[in-house]
Amino acid sequence: MNYELVGISVLWLFLFGYIIVASIDFGAGFFSLHAKLFNQSHQINHLIQRYLNPVWEVTNVFFVFFFVGIVGFFPDTAYYYGTVLLIPGSIALILLSIRGAFYAFENYGQDSKLSWLMLYAVSGLLIPASLSTALTISEGGFIKETATGKIDLNWTALLLNPYGWAVVFLALVSVLYISSGFLTFYAHRAHDHNAYELMRKWFLMWGPPMMFISLFVFLSLRVQNEAHFNSAVWDYGWLFILSFIAFIAAGILTYMKKAHGIAFIFVIIQIGTAFFGYGLSKLPYILYPYIQIKDAVTSDGMAVVLIIAFIGGLLLLCPSLFFIFKLFVFDKDYVRGKK
Amino acid sequence: MDAVDISRFLTGMTLAVHIIFATIGVGMPLFFAIAEFIGIKKKSAQYIALAQRWAKGYTITVAVGVVTGTVIGLQLSLLWPTFMRIGGHVIALPLFMETFAFFFEAIFLSIYLYTWNRFKNQWIHFLMSIPVIIGGTFSALFITSVNSFMNTPAGMEFKGGRMVNVDPIEAMFNASFFVRSFHVVTTALMTMAFILASIAAFKLLKNKVVKDRAYHQAALKMTMIAGLIFSLLSMLAGDLSAKFLHQVQPEKLAAYEWHFDTASRADLVLFGVLDESTQEVKGALHIPGALSFLSDSSFDTEVKGLNDFPKDELPPLIVHYFFDLMVFFGIFCFVVSFAYVVMLWIKKRNPQHQFLLYTILLTGPAAMLAIEFGWFLTELGRQPWIIRGFLKVQDAVTDANGLVFVTILFAILYFVLLFSATYVLLKMFKNKTAHEHIEHLNRNRGEA
């Protein structure tokens, strides 16, 4: 069996899971702050809290799962990414810590402060930006090697790179797009008319710029890593076309105020097809040109055990995740604030 | 300072902060579960309030535990990339399983915290605490397995600077895994018991809200009895650890005890100051033969001394102080809880005696300090190795620039986190006293 392919698929799936749930969370911070500053807090905050209080911790675990998994399956990634991401990674970690902790302080501590909300909201937008650095670096060209074989991040190349910035903006806008998509659905379910109108407006507003930036990411990828670009267009172009169709479908449904659950499923399909299209066209590289999936993989024995552990873990997690969603997302009375 | 020192300092700082919250994280669920169990069984709103208030405070410590845990998880790769490249795939299984356990705990903790009134049958809510306890304990076991591998590597061969022929199960259940896990779990429960007892003692001493006395007395009784049980188990675990070290990591035990020359009837050295150049110990209390006895239950056992190990593989001798402090604080907690239980047992005595309450007040911080010292001594005791016998710390550190910068950032972060977490926790219970909480529960039950 092709362990490395199983491994990377599992990890990619978890990263995708993280992107969806974390985006909802990160975007929610921005919307809360915006509402607070424009005196609309009463409209959306209780809605956001009702969803986020029970699930924020679970969101975090998706991320931990991804980085623990990638080091286990592909030990070389620890060396290269670990070294070059020292500063961007540490900054992302600090932002994640501030965000997680102050979210808890603000919501469980019942001692609300505007400054804490600011920390929570602003860090939520900076985290996707700093995490997206890892994706940019993976395209190659940002690692410098010294004569003695040591490696470090080439900051000038990174900061002056149009592709890098395009990815940062795409990460930011997608966060707001995904988050407002979910909250539109959640507000509609909660029969919370004000929040629903507000979220629907945000969702429709962020869609077009996101598409525009995506196109720019494509174009700049051509400059950054032509092989990757060609593979994306010629081998997996159909996935991106599917993604675009799903985008249109989600937009139309939301615009017509119909079937918000299905509209959000279209959002997931849209992001999913684009994300897997990006990942597939990138293969066989995990970090161009240093790490390919085949030469970085862990020993066979460990790969088998990891996959077994993974299946066992899923058998435990899926029912639990289903249970928590049943209680806090699909339970109409809870969502409407009656429980 | 060079890269190795800064990276060690930063890793040490992160772990020193994380271990506070991790210990609470492992220990706490059992306590609110017990309180809820008694509450449902006795139909007592007082114990339900206890469980709810403990669980409420727990949300804050868990949040800080989660974020600092995420930090250390990634810092391993950021600061020690070579270590993770060489050893990362060997410890992948326990690391991976730790995430699962943590996932499981996180899901059910959320459910537990937000469903106090959602289930008609109270026992169903109580059952939600079981996966939280299991998840927390197992994540402690798995992460201890990772650390044990670094002390007693197993299940692989080292060839050409790489670890090959990995046997994941053997690596996970390496020699020191069981004895260390046992020590970690029992001391976490012990520490939690004493922290909660400290809070109760503090409230009883302050006696600001007279109506709350019964509530705090109940909490004190429950946590002190648990404290006695878990401190006994911790001492057993400590004894097993010493015997284990004697067998497998003798240089660590010798460094703990400043035992320089191999000898039978070796003394146990308590406290004292060392002159490293002459190997002379001043002002110490020597217990003849006790080290031999501790190592192998016989006074005649020969204990290997530091002079018989290669000089460049010796741990720093400062660990002795940490060892003394850990043992001292641990025994202090045991003595106090023992005295309390005796007072409780002899009906005429008053277990809420002022002096006793003051000593109980000290047990929480003492137990937490013992945890910190214990981890300092075991981690420093592994020096100069990062994976004992295979990889030294100086060969595992990152080449990247910017270490000082990120160290300062993290130091600020931890300061802010500790400060605000304390502030929030202190403020949390100000608005609603325990008896109001209990009355509230009783009222709601009347309506239902």
pLDDT, tens digit, 9 for 90 and up, residues A176-206: 899 888 888 888 887 878 778 888 888 888 8
Tell me which chain B residue has its CA closest to the CA of residue A50.
Answer: B114
Chain B interface includes A108 (CB < 8 A): yes
Distance between CA atoms of residues A331 and A91, nearest Å:
37
Helices H / strands E in chain A, number of each: 14, 4
Distance between CA atoms of residues A296 and A290, nearest Å:
9
Q: Across the interface, do A153 and B400 touch by the CB < 8 Å criterion?
A: yes
Q: Which of A57, A75, A90 sits opposite B106 (nearest CB)?
A: A57
Q: Across the interface, do B60 and A76 touch by the CB < 8 Å criterion?
A: no
Q: Across the interface, do B399 and A78 touch by the CB < 8 Å criterion?
A: no
Helix (H, G, I), strand (E, B) or coil at B122: helix
Predicted confidence (pLDDT) at residue A42 exceeds the cutoff of 70: no
Q: Which of A64, A83, A108 sits opposite B59 (nearest CB)?
A: A108
Chain B interface includes A208 (CB < 8 A): no
Burial of B259 (0-12, 13-18, 19+ CB in 10 A): buried
A285-287/A143-145 β-pairing: unpaired
Predicted confidence (pLDDT) at residue A269 exceeds the cutoff of 50: yes
What confidence score (pLDDT) does residue B447 get? 46
Q: How many CA atoms lie within 13 A of A234 on its CB side?
A: 7
What confidence score (pLDDT) does residue A157 get? 75
Instruction: Give helix A41-73 / helix A162-189 axis angle, nearest 10°.
Output: 130
Q: Which of A72, A98, A323 sits opposite B89 (nearest CB)?
A: A72
Per DSSP, what are the bridge partners of residue B162? B159
- Please, which pLDDT band fits residue B189 given cuts at 50, 70 and 90? very high
Residue A184: C-alpha distances to residues A28, A179, A188, A266, B427 (Å): 11, 8, 6, 13, 35
Predicted confidence (pLDDT) at residue B279 exceeds the cutoff of 80: no
B391-392/B385-387 β-pairing: antiparallel
The model's pLDDT over B384-443, given as tens digits with 9 standing for 90+, comes to: 887 777 778 888 788 778 888 999 999 999 999 999 889 888 888 777 787 778 888 777
Which of A64-68, A143-147, B128-132, B400-404 is predicted least confidently?
A143-147
**Of B26, B59, B110, the residue nearest B425 (C-alpha):** B59
Rg (CA), chain B: 23
Q: Encoding tokens for residue B233?
A: 């188990």
The model's pLDDT over B217-275, given as tens digits with 9 standing for 90+, comes to: 888 889 999 999 999 999 999 888 888 888 888 888 888 888 887 877 777 777 877 77
What confidence score (pLDDT) does residue B403 get? 87
Predicted confidence (pLDDT) at residue A247 exceeds the cutoff of 60: yes
| Residues on chain A touching B407 (C-beta within 8 angstroms) | none
Distance between CA atoms of residues B119 and B46, nearest Å:
20
Helix (H, G, I), strand (E, B) or coil at B429: coil
Q: Encoding tokens for residue B54?
A: 């403990």
Q: Across the interface, do B89 and A298 touch by the CB < 8 Å criterion?
A: yes
Amino acid at B232: L
Phi-psi region at A191: left, alpha or beta (left = phi > 0; alpha = psi -120 to 50): left
Distance between CA atoms of residues A312 and B389, nearest Å:
33
Helices H / strands E in chain B, number of each: 15, 8
Among B115, B407, B424, B431, pick the best mutation site for testing chain A contact (most A Cβ within 10 A). Answer: B424
What confidence score (pLDDT) does residue B309 get? 82
Q: Across the interface, do B100 and A313 touch by the CB < 8 Å criterion?
A: yes
Tell me which chain A residue has its CA closest to the CA of residue B84.
Answer: A78
Confirm if A200 and A31 have CB atoms less than 8 A apart.
Answer: no
What confidence score (pLDDT) does residue B363 get? 92
**Of B447, B332, B443, B316, the residue nearest B45 (C-alpha):** B443
| Contact map slice: A 297-316 vs B, CB within 8 A | 298-299, 301-302, 305-306, 309-310, 312-313, 316
Q: Across the interface, do B399 and A79 touch by the CB < 8 Å criterion?
A: no
Q: Mean pLDDT, to the nearest integer, of A37-44?
A: 70
**Of B313, B417, B19, the residue nearest B187 (C-alpha):** B19
Backbone phi, psi, residue A140, to 5°? 95, 155
What contacts 24+ positions apart, CB below 8 Å, involve B391-396? Answer: B391/B82, B391/B83, B391/B86, B391/B87, B393/B4, B393/B8, B394/B4, B395/B82, B396/B80, B396/B81, B396/B82, B396/B83, B396/B86
What confidence score (pLDDT) does residue B281 get? 76
Q: Mean pLDDT, to the nearest integer, of B200-211?
A: 83
What confidence score (pLDDT) does residue A226 get? 79
The single residue listed with the structure tokens 């109270």 is B122
Inter-chain CB pairs, A–B, below 8 Å: 231
Predicted confidence (pLDDT) at residue B448 exceeds the cutoff of 60: no
Tell me which chain B residue has its CA closest to the CA of residue A65.
Answer: B99
The model's pLDDT over A82-119, given as tens digits with 9 standing for 90+, comes to: 888 888 889 989 998 888 888 777 776 666 667 777 88
What confidence score (pLDDT) does residue B12 get? 92
Query: Within 10 Å of residue A283's Cβ, how many Cβ atoms?
Result: 16
Distance between CA atoms of residues A99 and B312, nearest Å:
43
Tell me which chain B residue has its CA closest to the CA of residue A298.
Answer: B89
Chain B interface includes A212 (CB < 8 A): no
Distance between CA atoms of residues A32 and A183, nearest Å:
12
Cβ neighbors of B307 (< 8 A, separation 6 or more) are B260, B261, B262
Q: Encoding tokens for residue B406?
A: 């990120």
Q: Mean pLDDT, to the nearest integer, of A285-305?
A: 75
| pTM for this model (two decimals) | 0.88
| Residues on chain B touching A76 (C-beta within 8 angstroms) | 85
**Does residue A257 or residue B37 have the better pLDDT?**
B37
Q: How far is B410 from chain A (nearest CA, A)?
A: 7
| Residues on chain B touching A71 (C-beta within 8 angstroms) | 77, 84, 88-89, 92, 95
Q: Mean pLDDT, to the nearest integer, of A292-317?
A: 76
Predicted confidence (pLDDT) at residue A297 exceeds the cutoff of 70: no
What confidence score (pLDDT) does residue B349 get? 64
Q: Mean pLDDT, to the nearest integer, of A280-294?
A: 78
Predicted confidence (pLDDT) at residue A1 exceeds the cutoff of 90: no
Helix (H, G, I), strand (E, B) or coil at B274: strand
What confidence score (pLDDT) does residue B68 get? 92
Helix (H, G, I), strand (E, B) or coil at B183: helix
Per DSSP, what are the bridge partners of residue A143? A153
What confidence score (pLDDT) does residue A337 get? 67
The model's pLDDT over A69-87, given as tens digits with 9 standing for 90+, comes to: 888 888 888 888 888 888 8
Distance between CA atoms of residues B391 and B80, nearest Å:
11
- Please, which pLDDT band fits residue A215 given cuts at 50, 70 and 90? confident
Q: Which of B81, B95, B431 sits opposite A72 (nearest CB)?
A: B95
Confirm if A73 and A297 have CB atoms less than 8 A apart.
Answer: yes
**Of B363, B375, B319, B328, the residue nearest B19 (C-alpha):** B375
The model's pLDDT over B42-96, given as tens digits with 9 standing for 90+, comes to: 888 888 888 988 998 898 898 899 889 889 989 988 999 888 888 888 888 888 8
Q: Across the interface, do A108 and B92 touch by the CB < 8 Å criterion?
A: no
**Of B81, B96, B74, B191, the residue nearest B143 (C-alpha):** B96
Confirm if B291 and B314 have CB atoms less than 8 A apart.
Answer: no
Q: Across the interface, do A339 and B67 touch by the CB < 8 Å criterion?
A: no
| Residues on chain B touching A93 (C-beta within 8 angstroms) | 70-71, 74-75
**Does residue B332 or residue A260 have the better pLDDT?**
B332
Amino acid at B369: L
Q: Mean pLDDT, to the nearest integer, of B318-341?
A: 90
Q: Which of A299, A312, A327 sits opposite B89 (nearest CB)?
A: A299
- Please, which pLDDT band fits residue B100 given cuts at 50, 70 and 90? confident
| Residues on chain B touching A98 (C-beta within 8 angstroms) | 413, 416
What confidence score (pLDDT) does residue B45 get? 83
Helix (H, G, I), strand (E, B) or coil at A137: helix
For chain B, the average pLDDT equals 85
Q: Which of B77, B78, B92 sits opposite A302 (nearest CB)?
A: B92
